[in-house]
Amino acid sequence: MKNFSGRIIITIFLLSSFTFLRGQDFRFALITDTHVTKDSLAYNDLVRSVNQVNSTPGISFVLVTGDLTEEGDGESLQKVKDLLDKLNVKYYAVSGNHETKWSESGATDFGRIFGSERFKFTHNGYTFLGFNTGPIIRMMDGHVAPQDITWLEKEFLQAKAGTPFILVTHYPLLDGDVDNWYEVTDLARKYNVKAILGGHYHSNRLVFYDGIPAVINRSNLRDKTDNIGGYSIYEVNNDSILVYEQKIGRVPRKWGGYDLNKVYYTEDNSSYKRPSDSVNTVYPKVKPQWITKIGNTIYSSPVVYDGKIYVGDDTGLLSCLSLKSGKHIWNFKSDNKIIGTPAASDHIIVFGSADKCIYAINAITGKLVWKYLTEGAVLGAVTIDGGIAYIGSGDHTMRAINIKTGKLKWEYSGIKGYIETRPLIYDDKVIFGAWDNNMYALEKETGKLLWSWNGGLTRMHFSPAAVWPVAAHGKVFFTAPDRVLTALDAETGKTIWRTKESMVRETIGLSADKTRLYSKTMQDSVVCYSAVGSEPRKIWSVNAGYGYDHAPSMPVEKNNVVFGSTKNGIIFALGADTGKLLWKHKVGNSLINTVVPLNGRSCLFTSGEGIVGLLSIQDK
């Protein structure tokens, strides 16, 4: 009875607090950054918000703007949906980076559970457009996929002239948050976009995205200052869009808004910051020999085999290109995203897809050889050794499959997290990390577990899962998001040494003579350590001037040159012996995946912008 009376008091309190809103066009709620896990206080915070929205009169709909979960898993997403379904009004949701970066489904669970990765609806003359700002699996800046920009443009063009739009994203469309923010803002400024709404920063802020009014909203999580959760309430009328902070059980507090009759921007973008490629004038001999636009975001590295290049993209398309010219030869379409890097051998190319299948394709004709169905999205990169493909999946399983027959040799499913890395074959072992804090070693012939290593990691997000491990001199080397370079005994899995001296993250490469390790730090520098000995020994460190970077793109040595790449379109080359910077070149402003050097003067690359290219030193 006491709880029931309390609810009546709160409802009366909220009714009285909104009496001044009579006559306004409409109101809606915005809930963001709920960060629900399988069992957490965050879920209880969302319960309170749902209950309060339901007890508040006049709410027309609810926007849910990303980071619904902490780990992007299907169970947590379903839990959030089941709760949101209890809202008395319709709701519209977009995903956040926690649904796309850490996702055993390859970021497909969100669309499956919520019905779509985008939304469009019209209310009282306003058209609302919500879309994903990524990134998918890779650690990089947010990114709006080319196909989503095409969709956005189509919706703008199809609308009646003068239609007012409100865009809904998770990431702020700002430099440093979304790598191709300017593609969206330049498009949006051609139309009547009244505001862009979202979250990510866990705080209330009024900002402008290249002149376009925007609102960043507080997290639904309880504040550290008063231990109270909350969300936002918007009211829209003929003159303004106003935003209120609604803490649970409190009077809503108006804190910002915009004049809907004011012209804030024009199409002209000359006064807004844009990425600079001035570094290319410093090294003018380094140029693309050719560039091919795939048109869809690419999160895997190129594969070179028999004079051809094979590239997978996030629409599920495997493209075969000419190494010489970059021209298309054939395409093969799987039913969902290709995240992991393929591998080729014996005229067969093997790759995994988020459609839960492993594919083998004839490398010459592009025809299907076989398809193997798994229980989860196949996100892992492929390693082929002795006619056997080794590949990990979102169903927490590592598999060994005969590449000619498609017959399963063995599978190991005692893994607690999903797999995205490329497995390492070393001393008759299959070595790989997973998103469960562990590094594993399986017997190559049987798949039997030989050892696993945890290292005392406490958060899933610190797992050595994105890095491609390397091995030499009886040691396995890797880096993880905990910014530690680790060496393990390859036979036992015991720690030999760990160092946080250089603050490296998720990148590692091995020299051709197997004596040196290369890794990127998160700010400008590349470091080189000895792969020999029982203690960490730094050989050199160089400031490569690439800025802040956390992309899991591996350094690769070829002909005594170390090639590397970054999250913002830069490819660089260093002298392997000394670390001397040889050159840098900017090919865009998005993630460059692990490059493939052809020799000491050229390398192939793929980009989040959907391009494949051959970069080289050109003397003429």
Query: Where do the H-state alpha helices sit in 348-428?
Result: none
590 token code pair: 């998005």
Q: CA 247, CA 249: separation in Å to the nearest integer?
A: 6
- Specify whether domain 340-419+421-465 bears CATH 2.40.128.630: yes
Q: CA 80, CA 563: separation in Å to the nearest integer?
A: 43
499 token code pair: 């160092």
Q: How far is CA 33 from CA 46, 54, 78, 221, in A?
A: 10, 19, 16, 7
Q: CA 230, CA 52: separation in Å to the nearest integer?
A: 10
- According to DSSP, residue 532 is labeled S
2-259: CATH topology = Purple Acid Phosphatase; chain A, domain 2 (3.60.21)
Q: How far is CA 55 from CA 3, 9, 204, 228, 245, in A?
A: 14, 11, 23, 18, 16
- Which pLDDT score, from 0 to 100, does residue 15 have? 40
Q: What are the b/e assignments for 492-504, b being 16+ CB within 10 Å?
A: ebeebbebeebbb
With CA atoms as reference, report the closest residue to 584 among 284, 306, 317. Answer: 284
User: HEC profile for 489-527?
Assistant: ECCCCCEEEEECCCCECCCCEECCCCCEEEEEECEEEEE
Where on the phi/psi map is residue 219: left (φ > 0), alpha (ψ -120 to 50), or beta?
beta
- Which pLDDT score, from 0 to 100, does residue 40 have? 80
DSSP E strands in 270-367: the ranges are 286-293, 303-305, 308-312, 317-322, 328-333, 343-345, 348-352, 357-362
With CA atoms as reference, report the closest residue to 68 among 114, 25, 23. Answer: 114
With CA atoms as reference, report the closest residue to 468 among 404, 530, 556, 591. Answer: 556
Helix (H, G, I), strand (E, B) or coil at 619: coil
Q: CA 260, CA 242: separation in Å to the nearest integer?
A: 10
- Residue 190 CB: number of other CB atoms within 10 A? 12
Burial class (CB in 10 A: 0-12, 13-18, 19+), 203: exposed
Residue 81 phi, psi (nearest 5):
-60, -45
- Which pLDDT score, from 0 to 100, does residue 11 have? 42
Helix (H, G, I), strand (E, B) or coil at 252: coil
- Which pLDDT score, from 0 to 100, does residue 1 have? 37
Burial class (CB in 10 A: 0-12, 13-18, 19+), 335: exposed
- Which pLDDT score, from 0 to 100, does residue 224 have? 86
Q: How far is CA 76 from CA 62, 103, 156, 419, 427, in A?
A: 20, 11, 34, 19, 39
Residues 407, 411, 416, 420, CA torsion sign? negative
Q: Locate the domains of the chain by residue range.
A: 2-259, 340-419+421-465
How confident is the model over 39-87, as pLDDT tens digits?
Answer: 788 999 999 999 999 999 999 999 999 999 999 999 999 999 999 999 9
With residue 59 as reference, give the H or E element that holds it.
strand 59-65
- Which pLDDT score, from 0 to 100, does residue 22 have? 33
Helix (H, G, I), strand (E, B) or coil at 176: coil
Residues 308, 363 contacting (CB under 8 angstroms): yes
Block means of pLDDT (10 residues each) for the chain, 620 residues, are 39 39 73 90 96 97 97 94 98 97 94 96 97 93 94 97 97 97 98 98 98 98 92 96 97 97 96 96 97 95 98 97 98 97 98 98 98 98 98 97 98 96 98 97 98 90 96 98 97 97 96 98 97 97 96 97 98 98 97 98 97 93
How confident is the model over 513-531, as pLDDT tens digits?
Answer: 999 999 999 999 999 999 9
How confident is the model over 128-150, as pLDDT tens digits?
Answer: 999 999 999 999 999 999 999 99
Residues 370, 452 contacting (CB under 8 angstroms): no
Sheet hosting strand 240-247, strand order edge to edge? 91-94, 59-65, 26-31, 230-236, 240-247, 253-259
- Which pLDDT score, from 0 to 100, does residue 16 have? 38
- Residue 304 CB: number of other CB atoms within 10 A? 15
| Helix, strand and coil percent figures for the chain, each rounded to 5 | 15, 40, 50
- Residue 457 CB: number of other CB atoms within 10 A? 18
- Which pLDDT score, from 0 to 100, does residue 356 have? 98
- Which pLDDT score, from 0 to 100, does residue 456 have? 87
